[in-house]
Chain A
Amino acid sequence: MTEMLLIPAIPLVAALLCLAVKNSRVREYVTLVGAAMLLSATLNAAAGALDGMTLTAFGGLLYMDALSAYMLSVIAALTLVTVIYSIEYMRHELDTSVINDGAHRHYYVLFNVFVFTMTIVPLSNNLAMMWISIEATTLVSALLVGFYRKKESIEAAWKYIMLCTVGITFALLGTFIMYYASATLSGEGAGVLEWTSLKAAAHGLNPATVRLSFILIMVGYGTKAGLAPVHNWLPDAHSEAPTPISALLSGILLNCAFYGIMRFAVITDIACGHAFVQDIMTVFGLGSVVIASVFILMQTNSKRLLAYSSIEHMGIISLSFGVGGPFGIYASLLHILNHAMGKPLMFFVTGRIRALHGTVETTEVRGLLKSAPLVGALGFVGLMALTGMPPFGMFISEFLMFRGLADAGRWGVIAVFLAASVLVFYGFIRRFGGMFLGAPPKGSGHGHGTYWPASAVLVALGGGLLLLGLYIPGTLDRLITMSVAVTGGGQ
């Protein structure tokens, strides 16, 4: 109970403190400490979940099982990472007087509120509650996307909020219809929209109704999760937001939205049979992978390129979740973690490139391996990881997805996916490889204040990806397996 309530409380308090304090350094440390506490609280709760206990609060409004615990730990861990990098990034912005102190405070307040909203998502058992929190994440992050108040950032934020609000409207409609489906079954009442009770009653739900609701959910949350063909806000928002925020958006926000889809998919799976869910999620997943691959090929702005790669990876996650089975869902969850490590790593790298060269255009930067060895090397690590190369984590999750697809006999899907992955690799190595290799231009790489913990974080992320490529620690393995059990997959 309390340990669960602690999780959202911490960032909320941090936000209020940031609002209060004048000194920018203090703000940073408040946020840092908050993130650290958040992580410890989450892991503590997750440890509980590992022992198979599920927590509830506010009469089942909040609820935590292995899956929520897993998502929360990813969120908390990435939050800490991002805070550490934010410190370096925002200091640089202050020093180069891109922003003033007010904006600095503004940033940290919103940052914490954003984290708060995201922690609510996995905790909410009531599906409408989940919707509210997801919508809340949109509203807060929109302000962060528009942080710079430049033309482009405002445009990006506008598109982001417009598209996501429209999308999420359908998600709410879907939720209503789900409510109706369960209400007609088990009468009115507060418990009607609770995931736990819905899952329990799923067999009896009217398939047609549930199908309609899931279609709406898929479009609604899919928009937010950046699944093609309703992904269009994503490249703009990711490229215009401050780099740490881009990392958060792509690393966990997308997954929060996808988390909503997961919860609904579980119910739909039981109510309408697996085929329907598998087909619709495969369509969205494969579509995202293919479209993203084509866009990656031609992209020269490294942040936009990474944004499209996020679309690709959400596609992979959806694809593998859709195929289901013992491997598919495991792969999907594992891929969420891998992506939450690889994408921030790459975003931070581009952040440092921006600090070094003042641009993120791949065509204008050369020879990073020479001028900034750490950035160059880790950049290559991130590149290989994101393109699903062994010995990095994503290869394992993608391989498990192949296994799932092979079990389902979906050779065509594998073939198409592999073709697309070749394009992705081509685009990545062509663009980023060009940045890292070659001779650095004269007088480039004027050093900027790097914050050593940030460097440590970069190394840690790279190391983590390598580790997950060769060995998945027992606890993690168990947590994921239990989450798979929660979704009812694996039988």
Chain B
Amino acid sequence: MIRQWIEIFSVIDAISIGMLLTTLAMNSVRRIETCLKAYTMNSLLLALLMGVCAIYMGIAHLYIAAAVTLISKGIVIPYLLRRVVRSLRLTRDAEPYIGTTMSLVISAVLVVIVYSSLSKGIVVEGVIENTLKISISIILIGLFIMITRKKAVTQVIGLLFMENGLFLAGFSLTYGMPTLIELGVLFDLLMGVIILGVFLSQIKKAFVSVDLDRLTTLKG
């Protein structure tokens, strides 16, 4: 009976669109704290979506996946990042390379491209039909955010957005891979974030700031 509810209100689409919106929001947010909030929101939505699917399909290990996502992406990673940000005493991001409106337009274009190229190419059906497109859009927008943002931290956040999108995609395509693999992937990402944190503090030490414009000594 819940399944009907989910279908009627097409909950999955709703949640994934929510994720897309939180990602798009990144284009306008400047305060780093807020960026982190947006990310946390995005992750929670992802976990929620997994949970819903778990209910919808009643696959046991999806609950595990949802739980793991909730813990790692919704709690641990934001916590780590917040610590780094605090330790580096970062408040605002520098002005991005591309203004808010322009970047929103570009993000929209990206979404369009994804939709068009996917609809003529890969054929997916069922509940995830939209989710996949949305997830790939999220990935591209995350990358776009990384391109526009100047501070290292915000870039990391952009990367994390990409990974959420990736998870959404992976999830919608695979309904949760064999758990071992999933854990491995998660572990890798976690390690990645930690190492990034390490380098962030090293950058702060070496370059006095985490403003990426200074990281251009190696060229040619």
A and B directly contacting (CB within 8 A): yes
- Residues of A whose CB lies within 8 Å of any CB of B are 126, 128-129, 131-132, 135-136, 139, 142-143, 146, 149-152, 154-159, 161-162, 165-166, 169-170, 172-173, 176-177, 179-180, 183, 188, 190, 193, 206, 208-209, 211-212, 235-236, 239-240, 295, 298-299, 304
CB distance A149 to B118 under 8 Å? no
Given A176-B173, A209-B123, also A155-B217 (CB < 8 A): yes
CB distance B188 to A132 under 8 Å? yes
Given A135-B188, A180-B173, also A206-B123 (CB < 8 A): yes
A172 neighbours in B (Cβ, 8 Å): 166, 170, 185
Alpha-carbon distance between A99 and B166 when the two chains are bound, in angstroms = 40
B152 within 8 A of A: yes
B175 neighbours in A (Cβ, 8 Å): 188
* 8 Å CB contact of B184 from A128, A157, A173, A190: A128
B67 within 8 A of A: no
A169 neighbours in B (Cβ, 8 Å): 139, 159, 162-163, 166
A135 neighbours in B (Cβ, 8 Å): 188, 192
- Residues of B whose CB lies within 8 Å of any CB of A are 117-118, 120-124, 136, 139, 143, 146, 152, 155, 159, 162-163, 166, 169-170, 173-175, 177-178, 181, 184-185, 188, 191-192, 195-196, 199, 202-203, 206-207, 215, 217-218, 220
Q: A-B pairs with the 4 shortest C-beta distances?
A: A180-B173, A208-B121, A236-B218, A128-B181
28 contacts between A and B (CB under 8 A): A128-B181, A129-B181, A132-B185, A136-B188, A136-B191, A139-B188, A139-B195, A142-B195, A151-B206, A152-B217, A152-B218, A154-B199, A154-B202, A154-B207, A155-B218, A161-B195, A169-B139, A173-B166, A176-B166, A179-B177, A180-B124, A183-B173, A183-B174, A206-B123, A208-B120, A208-B122, A209-B122, A211-B121
CB distance A170 to B123 under 8 Å? no
CB distance A132 to B184 under 8 Å? yes
CB distance A139 to B185 under 8 Å? no
Q: Closest residue of chain B to A216, judged by CB?
A: B136
A152-B217, A212-B118 given; 9 more Cβ-contact pairs under 8 Å: A129-B181, A136-B188, A154-B202, A169-B159, A169-B166, A176-B170, A177-B173, A240-B218, A304-B220
A183 neighbours in B (Cβ, 8 Å): 173-174
A212 neighbours in B (Cβ, 8 Å): 117-118, 121-122
CB distance B143 to A155 under 8 Å? no
CB distance B174 to A235 under 8 Å? no
* 8 Å CB contact of B217 from A128, A151, A179: A151
Nearest-Cβ distance from residue A117 to partner chain B, whole angstroms: 11
Nearest-Cβ distance from residue B179 to partner chain A, whole angstroms: 10
Alpha-carbon distance between A132 and B186 when the two chains are bound, in angstroms = 9
Most B CB within 10 A of own CB, among A143, A188, A239, A298: A188
* 8 Å CB contact of A206 from B122, B155, B166, B192: B122
Nearest-Cβ distance from residue A310 to partner chain B, whole angstroms: 16
CB distance B202 to A149 under 8 Å? yes
Alpha-carbon distance between A209 and B178 when the two chains are bound, in angstroms = 21
Alpha-carbon distance between A239 and B184 when the two chains are bound, in angstroms = 31
Nearest-Cβ distance from residue B58 to partner chain A, whole angstroms: 14
Main secondary structure of the interface of A (DSSP, over half): helix
B206 neighbours in A (Cβ, 8 Å): 149-151, 154
Alpha-carbon distance between A193 and B184 when the two chains are bound, in angstroms = 15
A208 neighbours in B (Cβ, 8 Å): 120-123
B173 neighbours in A (Cβ, 8 Å): 176-177, 179-180, 183
Q: Closest residue of chain B to A151, judged by CB?
A: B206
B220 neighbours in A (Cβ, 8 Å): 295, 298-299, 304
* 8 Å CB contact of B196 from A155, A161, A295: A161
Nearest-Cβ distance from residue B182 to partner chain A, whole angstroms: 9
Alpha-carbon distance between A37 and B136 when the two chains are bound, in angstroms = 45
Alpha-carbon distance between A236 and B184 when the two chains are bound, in angstroms = 29
CB distance B174 to A170 under 8 Å? no
Given A155-B215, A188-B175, also A146-B199 (CB < 8 A): yes
CB distance A157 to B199 under 8 Å? yes
CB distance B152 to A158 under 8 Å? yes
Nearest-Cβ distance from residue B195 to partner chain A, whole angstroms: 6
A129 neighbours in B (Cβ, 8 Å): 181, 184
* 8 Å CB contact of A173 from B117, B169, B181, B202: B169
A211 neighbours in B (Cβ, 8 Å): 121
CB distance A132 to B174 under 8 Å? no
A240 neighbours in B (Cβ, 8 Å): 218
Q: Closest residue of chain A to B120, judged by CB?
A: A208
B203 neighbours in A (Cβ, 8 Å): 154-155, 158
B215 neighbours in A (Cβ, 8 Å): 155, 158-159
A150 neighbours in B (Cβ, 8 Å): 206
A190 neighbours in B (Cβ, 8 Å): 178
Q: Closest residue of chain B to A172, judged by CB?
A: B166
Alpha-carbon distance between A239 and B217 when the two chains are bound, in angstroms = 12
CB distance A161 to B170 under 8 Å? no
* 8 Å CB contact of A156 from B166, B191, B195, B218: B218
